[in-house]
Structure formats: C-alpha cells, structure tokens
Amino acid sequence: MSGSANRIEPDGERKQVTVLFADVKGSMDLAEQQDPEQWREIMQGFFDILAEEVRRFEGTVDKFTGDGIMAVFGAPIAHEDHARRACYAALRMLDDISEYAAELRRKHGLSFSARIGINSGEVVAGAIGEPGDGSYTAIGHTVGLAQRMEALAEPGKAYLTEAAAELARGYLELEDLGEFEIKGASRPVRVFELAGVGAARSRLDLSRERGFSAFVGRREEMATLEEALERARAGEGAAVGIVAEPGVGKSRLCHELAARCRAEGIEVFEAQAQAHGRGIPFMPVLQMLRAYFGIADADQERIVREKIAGRALLLDPELADDLPLLFDFLGVPDPDRPVPRLSAEARQRALRGVVCKLVQAPSRRDPAALVVEDLHWVDDGSEALLGELLDAVEGTMTLVVVNFRPEYEPSWTGPPDYHEIELAPLRQADTRELVGDLAGEDPSLDGLAEELHERTAGNPFFIEEIVRELVEAGHLEGERGAYRLVRPIEEIGVPSSVQAVLAARIDRLGAEAKRLLQAASVAGKEVSEGTLLPISGLDEGAFEAALRETIAARFLYEAELFPERLLAFTHPLTREVAYQSQLSTQRRATHAATARATIELNPDRHDELSALIADHMEKGGETLEAARWSAHAAYWAGHHQPRDALRLWRRTMELAGALEEGAEKDALGLSARIRQLDYAWRLGMDPAEEARLKAEAEELAERSGDLRSLALLRALGTGRPGVERDAGEWIAGADEVQRLAEQSGDRDLLIALRAAGSYAFLCAGELERFSRIADDVIELAGDDRRAGGGIIIGCPLAWALMCKGIYHRERGELEEAARWFNRGLRTATEEGDPETACWTRGNVASILALRGEVEAAVSLARRNRELADRLGDVFTRSLSLGQLATVELAAESFEAALDAVEEAERLYREAMHSGGEVGSWRAALRAEALLGLGRAAEALEVAEWAADDARRHGILWPLPRALKALARARAASGAAGAEAAIAEAAEVAERTGARGVLREMEEERGALAAARS
C-alpha cells in the first residue's frame, strides 16, 4: 500500500451515528431535459436546501454525491439524539423540496422529486485522503445500508432501517413496510417509512407510553419539593433546581410532583428545552405560554387570539396593550393590530416584561407550578427570560421547578430562596424494587438486581433499557413484572440508547481528557496514576489537566490516594463506551503499553499480575509475550488453583499456536500440553481431548529429541491414576517410567517420577516396592526438600513421607505410621504443597480412627474435606470425601458416611468418565455404610461388585476391605459364603503384607462364629 494516495489517518474513532442519504430521483433523465447551466442552478438550489437542514440539526454534510448528499449526525461531535435529528432534518427536507419542486414545475415544467435513506449504527469516523489534506468522513457498513435505503425509497419519501427506527420510535411517526432483501446485507432488513413527528417529546414521554415503572425512593427529594410548594401556596413564591446526569430521574421526579399538584387542583405548566432546539429560539418559552393559555395545535388563529386575550385580560386589564406582542410571538398576529416596529432586542425585553406581569398579576389567587426541563439545552433568549421570571416569583403563589445536567452553568441566580437538589442515582434497595417491578421476583432472577445495580451504578434509565434489551435478546421470557431468566447472561451489552447518551457525554470532554479516558478504559476498571500517565501518551502537564477534567466531569474518581493515586471509573458503562469508541489499532497499542507499564512499575508483583499482563499483551497483539506471561501465570496458579492453572495452560497453548515457527513456539506448546495432561487426572478431561494433547505433545517432544518430556509424558499417560485398567499393565507402565527417569540423568525428574509412579505399586498391593521407592525418594532428596517439586507432585519428599506412613499403617504399625504422616504433613505445609497436605491429613484422620480417637478423626476429616473443596481439584475432593466416609464409619455415623461416599463417587464419575482405580474402595465403604443402616440386600450387591472389580483389575489394596464388607453382607442377608470371603481376604492380606487388615480379619472371623452359635 505504500505510495498509495489514500491513507487512513490513525486518529479515527468508532462512533455510533445516523447516516442520511438524499438524492434526486432519476437525475440523469432530468438532466438530459435541461440545459447544463440551468441544471446546475437547479441542483445548487437543491443542495442548499439539504445543507441548510443538515446544519439546522447540527449534522455534518459528509459529501456531495453528484445528485445528492450524504450527511452524518453524531460525528464528529456525538449527539445523544442523532437518529431523531436525522429524521427531523429529513422531514423538513421533504417539505422544502416539495415546495421547490412545485416551483420547478411552474418555471421549467420539470417533475423533480427527492428520496431519503436513513440508517443508524457504528462507523469509523476520521480523516481520510492525502496525508495532511484528509477530510473528515464516515466509513462502514452502516453508510452503505443508508444508501440502500435511499435507493429503495419512493420519490418524496424517507425510509429508515430498523436500527434507526429503534432509536427514533415514539419521537417520530413510523410506518412499518416489512422486511426487504437488501444487497450487501446478510439478513433481510425491516424497513420503515418516516411518516411525521410523533407524540413523544422527551424520553419520559416515551416511558409514559410504555407504561411507567413503579416510582421508587426519592422520599427526601419529594419532601423538599412539597415544602417549596407550601411556600408558594403561602404566597411567598419558591424556586427549586434539580441537577443530575441523564437518566437519573429529573424528569420523573418533576412528573411525580406535577401529578401531585394536579391531584390537588393546582395548575401546572410544563416546558422543556430540546437537544436539537438551540437553533430554534424561544421554543421552551413558546411551549410554556401555549400551555398557559391552553392553546391546542388544532386551534384556529382566531380562537388562539381569543384564548390569549381572555386569560390575559382576566388577570390584568393593563395587559391589553401587550396583546399584539403576545399574538405575534405566539404566531397568530392580529391583522387589525400590527405590532409596532421594534428591534429584536427591544422586542425580547418587552416580551420578558409581559411574562413577568403574567406571573405577578395582583389578581392571581390560585397557586401554580411551572416546570422547565433540560436547561442545559436552553437557547439564550429563553434563558434570559427564565432568569427574569425566576426573580419575579418572589411574593407570588408560583412555584418554579427547573432541571438540568451538571454541566449547565446558569446565567441567572434565582430568587433568594432558590436552592438545588442534587439528585443521586438510586440506592441498591431502590434498584431492587425497580427491577422487581420491571422483571419480577422469579427465583431465576436472583442476583440480577445486584448485577444491574453494579453495572448501571443505579441509573434508572440504564436499568430500564438493559432490562428491555434482555427481553429483546431472549434472555428474559414472560411479561412485564413476571419474567423468568431462560438464557444465562454471559454478557450484557450496552443498549444503543444508553450508548448514545454516554458517547455524547464523553464527546464533551476536551481532546486530551478524552484520550486519557480512552486509555484508562483499556487499562481496566481501575488504573494507577503511574500506569495511566505513560499509556495516555500525554506529557505530564497535559496529563494533570486532562485528569482534572475527567474527574471534574465525574467520569473517573480517586478510589485511593495512598500509596499511589488509583483512578476508577464512576460508571462501568462509560468505560465500555470509551473502550468501544477507539479504533482497534489504537486499542491494541494501548493494551501493549499497559502491559509494559505494569511490568515496569511493579517489579515485585510480577507473579500476581502475570495473568493480567498476559491479557494485555494478548489484546495488544504481542502474542509471544502473551504466551510467556500466560505460562508464568499458569505456573503461579499451580496446584493451589488447579482450575485456573488448567485454563491458563490451555490459553498458553493457543497463544503458542499462533506464533511463528521456532524453538520457543515448540517449547511453550510442549510444556503447555504436558501441564494440561498433569491437570487432566486431577480435574478430569474429555478423553478425546486428552488423547489429542498427548499425541501432539509426543510429536513435539520427539521432534526435538526431548527425553525428559517423553518420560514425563509416559508418566502422565500409562502411569497416571484414574484410568480403569489392570494392575499388571499399570505396573509395567510404572516400571518403564522408572527406567526412563533413571536414563534421563535429571535428578529432579527422577525424584518426581519415582514419587508419582509409586502410587501404582500401592494400589496393586505391592507394599514392599511401594515402601522402597519412598525410601529412595527420601534418600535422593536428602536435605533438598524442593527436589523434583512441582513437576507432577508439589513436594515429592512430603509425598514419600506420607507413603511411608501408609506402608506402616497397612502393616498395622500405627505409632510408626502416625510419625511418618506427621512429618509428611509438616513438610507439605512448609513447602507450600496444599495438595499433598490434604492427602496426608486424610490419612492422619484414618490413624486417629484406628486408634479409637473417633471424634478427633471426624473433625479433622471434615476440615480436610473443606480444605480440599477450596483447592478445587476433583481427585483430591473425592479422595478427601472417601477418607471422611472411612472415619464416619468408625464413628458409626452411617448416614453421614453414606452421604460422603456417594458424593465422592458422583464427583469422580462426573469428571473422570470412570470410577478410577479406587472405585472398589469407595464401593466397599458404601457397602459398610449400607450395612450400618440395615440395608443388607443393597450392601450385598455393592460389596459383590467391589470385590469383583478389585479382583478383576488386580487392585489388591482395597480388596480385603471389600471382601470383609462382602462377608458381613452375606452374613447379614443370610447368603452363603461369608467364611469364604473372610478366608479370601485373609489370604490377600497375607500375600500383600497388610498385617493390619489381617488382624481385622481374625476379629471378623470370630464375630461371625459368635453370631452363628
């Protein structure tokens, strides 16, 4: 592209706008009928009309298209009512053009007509063209669709897309034309014809039409207003201002006051300034006077004059002289009594005088309330008039209530008693009530109100719009006040109406403050000053000023001042809008800068920040850095947070996959896969996914001749727990792993694989080998408690110490076992290996139970279960539940034992797709619990299965326990073969050297004999 003439400057922005296209229908044919010079003149007249109406509503003429124009509303400066402005402009254009066409027909016999297309949506707006000579324009699909609407429109009509209609509905009258297939649009587009001005003038009108939500909170504010009303009634006059950001409820509060006044028979006159109305002077004053004189749109001029004269003269006969002025101002000049010629200035002064006379007329006996809304949009003329009116209310029976947004700085001071109510957003309880009214109380909505409160910071308008959006997007089903959540809400977007309001607010900031806000939005909900400065790209002086501006405008607030200034977004939605308004190139650069600043400014906190850094690096397009930091984060999460670790390793793998070929890609890809496999047996994984990871990892390891990784992979494959297979096969695999470890010549790997591989020997009942490997590990590690740590097991030494404990327990040497377990537990805890600590603690509990300290055993096992839950991996949770069941059985709490073991079984099977190597152990425990509960028949079935399963797979460690349960179940249910089961159990225990169990068998045999005799 270098050398190309057209270049997009980097300073564009994403904006939500409304695009309007207008052109002459059939211009080619028309042009042919005319002399070119004349045609040019005709077109100039046409362009003038279009341009004037675009300007009137503060749009931008983006370009002339030859036979028409393209205009944009909402860019460069955002207007919250961009769609309405476009529609108003379109209506006036069509009016003006029809007049113009009539003239052309008369003069040139020409049948001239125009058509208009309107669409709203996102565009990229900015300079484009020759560098340095670019002109501002909007680009995007939104533009193309607006043009298609124009092409579709009938002559003399304006067509809107659904997106524009959605924003204009209520304010404008629209006619649904149904769906159309549009070239370039993937889905049919619903098209509307613009039919005229609608009934709604403000957002509150729209809310009224939809049905107001229940009025919540605002008790104090209402009390303040009522008090002011009392003062007015007492003839003192009163004036109150209500200040709040858009959507907080200024209009609603005024509406509630007005309703109360009317209920008490007090007259209320309402007026409001309009966003697009600054170009139409005195609009609110006109509105007010029309309300005061009770003038309706349909009234004939004569009637209007009568109404004015009637009311004015009744009040104050002296007003007779002012009537011509009033008539003229209200658009009904009396042909018989023309207004004397006056300068505009003098005329306005006279008008102000008349209005004051109306307020102060001595004959007025009835109180009245005057509400003027949205003064932030007021024109100068109306503002001056309002100022005098406010001064005039003192000592009358008039209450004046005005409202405006915080950015408005009144040019008037108001009467002495004037004061302002700063309307705060809704409190959490009020939000709950509002959401309850809108959505209902269905249990599926639990937590929704809290979430909405957090997202909207209590702004009722935003709450209403988001609920509407949730309904439209099909998350909520039912009807108003009785919805159910039917689809989980992963992400609540920003409704376009809310987007428009917030974007307009942001655009009022200066360029640098806006840049700062955008940078902050990339950094996060909160950002330290130290990070924000470099990523904003501003120098220190400009930064300070910009920061002050954003804080003053309440976009950011200082969440903390010490040890460093921490800036937070006042409103989560503002952050989203600021974020979305940036071009992705800019966003990317800021993300990368944020990552770098975070690294640099927090040298001691890299571990805890690594996931965040990875995230910014990834969004910043720095994939290699992202992969590295993601791996860092995954290591750090480790066995403490296995779920996070697995997720982070998966992400590391994906990031590595996106890298260019190279050694680091392979190395990161390999370790990310191996690590995932290491979590597979802890957390469970889809077998197909596991197989794929393993195959990919093996290929990578073989390609680089990485023996170490190959050995590890073998251990995590054939040597891993949790797979249903025969002991012989498992042992053979474990043996091979031991050999590979030996060959690798890597001491840490050797220790890690020894330790992890030993588990197979325990399960198979090879207690001596199991114990010898543990000795080996202890010896190899020596004083180095970290040796082999974190490769598969957090602390292999602690593991080996635990294994020794298990060995001695199985042999019935309880004191010895307890000593080893305690050493193991201490080591695991000190070395920060919560997993081995959990496994060991469960074993300590088993020893306590065997020694008869049942209460202590149960309480320890319960605590252990909680710790395991907190850790979160399924292997450990299930194991700790099995261990809990063991001690509950010893305590003869059979119900509790059954619950624990069933939960253990459920957890395990759900995650692992099989019962694993100790399925028979859990079944044996279950059989015992069932026996304790007197459910002998079920116990028998479960025990049969337990013994079978252990026998079939050669998993001899739990077999005696299973056989013992079987013997008792047979005896209890009167089935034959109790003795045979005991004999088999004794034989297995003898063979494996589990002398502790052997002793139990002798006791059991005695009990059986006693029961029979």
Ligand X SMILES: Nc1ncnc2c1ncn2[C@@H]1O[C@H](COP(=O)(O)OP(=O)(O)O)[C@@H](O)[C@H]1O
Binding residues for ligand X, rule: CB under 6 A, are: 203-204, 207, 212-213, 215-218, 244, 246-252, 434, 460-461, 464
415: helix, coil or strand? coil
Give the bridge partners for 17, in sequence order: 121
Residue 187 main-chain phi, psi, to 5 deg? -120, 155
In angstroms, give the least distance from the CB of 444 to Mg ion. Answer: 33
460 is in the binding site of which of Mg ion, ligand X, none (Cβ under 5 to 8 A by kind)?
Answer: ligand X
Nearer to ligand X, 421 or 697 (CB): 421
Helix-helix angle 448-456:572-580, to 10 degrees: 60
Rule CB under 5 A: say whether 920 interacts with Mg ion. no
Is 245 or 748 the residue whose CB approaches Mg ion more closely? 245
CB 278 within 8 A of CB 379: yes
**Cα distance between residue 90 and residue 99, in whole Å:** 14
Q: Between 159 and 461, whose beta carbon lies closer to Mg ion?
A: 461
Nearer to ligand X, 24 or 204 (CB): 204
CB of 372 to ligand X, least distance (A): 13
Amino acid sitting at position 792: I
- Min separation Cβ 252 and Mg ion, Å: 8
Minimum CB distance to Mg ion, residue 8 (Å): 38
- Residue 464: which of ligand X, Mg ion, none does it interact with, CB under 5 to 8 A by kind? ligand X
Q: With CB cut-offs between 5 and 8 Å by kind, which of ligand X, Mg ion, none does residue 27 bind?
A: none
The interface partner of residue 653, options being ligand X, Mg ion, none and the CB cut-off 5 to 8 Å by kind, is none
Q: Which is nearer to ligand X, 170 or 842 (CB)?
A: 170
Minimum CB distance to ligand X, residue 404 (Å): 10
Shortest Cβ distance from residue 248 to Mg ion (Å)? 9
How is the beta sheet containing 419-422 ordered, strand by strand?
267-272, 368-373, 398-404, 238-243, 419-422
Of these partners, ligand X, Mg ion, none, which one is at the site of residue 252 (CB under 5 to 8 Å by kind)? ligand X
For 697-852, strand residue ranges (E) read none
Q: Closest CB to ligand X among 314 and 429?
A: 429
Binding mask 55-94 for Mg ion (x = CB under 5 A): ----------------------------------------
Q: How far is the CB of 368 from ligand X (least distance, A)?
A: 22
With tokens 């720095």, the residue in question is: 622
- The 10 Å Cβ neighbour count of residue 468 is 16
User: In whole angstroms, how far apart are CA 430 and each of 208, 255, 427, 438?
Assistant: 20, 18, 5, 12
Return the number of the residue (206 or 356) whose C-beta is nearest Mg ion: 206
Q: Which is nearer to ligand X, 452 or 645 (CB)?
A: 452
Cα three-residue angle 450-451-453, rounded to 5 degrees: 65
Helix (H, G, I), strand (E, B) or coil at 45: helix
Window 222 to 261, contacts with Mg ion (CB under 5 A): 250-251
The partner in contact with residue 681, picked from ligand X, Mg ion, none with C-beta cut-offs of 5 to 8 angstroms by kind, is none
Tokens 């003053």 belong to which residue? 552
**396 near Mg ion (CB under 5 A):** no
Give the residue with the Cβ less far from ligand X, 251 or 843.
251
From the list 504, 156, 148, the residue with the least C-alpha distance to 164 is 148
Helix 707-717 and helix 687-703, axial crossing angle in degrees, nearest 10: 160
| Least distance CB 402 / Mg ion (angstroms) | 12
Residue nearest to ligand X (CB): 249
Joined tokens for residue 508: 């009022």
- Alpha-carbon distances, residue 111 vs 26, 65, 107 (angstroms): 10, 21, 11
Shortest distance (Å) from residue 682 CB to ligand X:
50
Write down the least CB distance from residue 374 to Mg ion, Å.
6
Which residue, 100, 51, 60, is CA-closest to 79?
60
- Whether 214 and 431 have beta carbons less than 8 Å apart is answered as no
Strands 419-422 and 238-243: parallel
**Among Mg ion, ligand X, none, what does residue 453 contact (CB within 5–8 Å per kind)?**
none
> Looking up tokens 């056989």, which residue turns up?
963
Q: How far is the CB of 501 from ligand X (least distance, A)?
A: 8
583 in helix, strand or coil? Answer: coil
| Partner interacting with residue 642 (select from Mg ion, ligand X, none; CB below 5-8 Å by kind) | none
Residue 844's binding partner among Mg ion, ligand X, none (Cβ under 5 to 8 angstroms by kind) is none
**How close are the terminal C-alpha atoms of the chain, in Å?**
100
Does 876 participate in binding Mg ion (rule CB under 5 A)? no
List the beta strands (DSSP E) in 389-475.
398-404, 419-422
Nearest approach, Cβ of residue 245 and Mg ion (Å)? 10
Number of residues lying near Mg ion (CB under 5 A): 2
119 touches Mg ion (CB under 5 A): no
Q: Which of 421, 291, 432, 445 is nearest to 368 (CA)?
A: 291
| Nearer Cβ to Mg ion (261/868) | 261
State in angstroms the smallest separation of the CB of 548 from ligand X: 26
Tell whether the torsion through CA atoms of 276, 278, 281 and 284 is positive or negative.
positive
Binds 805: which of Mg ion, ligand X, none (CB < 5-8 Å by kind): none
Q: How far is CA 13 from the centre of its chain?
A: 22
Is 415:254 a contact under the CB 8 Å cutoff?
no
Kindly tell me which of 215 and 282 has the beta carbon lying closer to ligand X.
Answer: 215
Residue 201 CB burial class (10 angstroms; 0-12, 13-18, ≥19): middle
Q: Which of Mg ion, ligand X, none is residue 217 near (CB under 5 to 8 Å by kind)?
A: ligand X
Report whether 229 contacts 410 (CB < 8 A): no
CB of 261 to ligand X, least distance (A): 17
Residue 44 C-beta: closest distance to ligand X, Å: 42
Q: Which is nearer to ligand X, 169 or 865 (CB)?
A: 169
Q: Which of Mg ion, ligand X, none does residue 215 bind (CB under 5 to 8 Å by kind)?
A: ligand X
- Closest CB to Mg ion among 246 and 788? 246
Q: Which one of Mg ion, ligand X, none interacts with residue 216, CB within 5 to 8 A by kind?
A: ligand X
Residue with smallest beta-carbon separation from Mg ion: 251
Residue 861 binds which of Mg ion, ligand X, none (CB < 5-8 A, kind-dependent): none
For ligand X, which is the closer residue by CB, 424 or 867? 424
Quote the CA–CA distance of 506 and 578 in Å, as a whole number: 8
Can the peptide bond before residue 76 be classed as cis, meaning omega within 30 degrees of 0?
yes
Write down the number of H helices and E strands in the chain.
Answer: 42, 19
Residue 923 interaction partner, one of ligand X, Mg ion, none, beta carbon < 5-8 Å per kind: none
Question: Which residue, 69 or 242, is less far from ligand X as judged by CB?
Answer: 242
Smallest separation, CB 324 to ligand X (Å): 37
Q: How far is CA 752 from CA 719, 778, 795, 918, in A?
A: 12, 11, 9, 22
Q: Which entry of ligand X, Mg ion, none binds 616, CB below 5 to 8 A by partner kind?
A: none
Strands 267-272 vs 419-422: parallel, antiparallel or unpaired = unpaired
Report phi then psi at 230, rounded to 5: -60, -40
292 binds, among Mg ion, ligand X, none (CB under 5 to 8 A by kind): none
Q: Give the span between the Cα atoms of 955 and 125, in whole angstroms.
A: 70
CB 192 within 8 A of CB 160: yes
Nearer to Mg ion, 250 or 352 (CB): 250
From the list 310, 311, 308, the residue with the least C-alpha distance to 324 is 308
Closest approach of ligand X to the CB of residue 132, in Å: 42
Nearer to ligand X, 424 or 667 (CB): 424
Q: β-strands 172-180, 267-272: how paired?
A: unpaired
Point out which residues bind Mg ion (CB under 5 A): 250-251
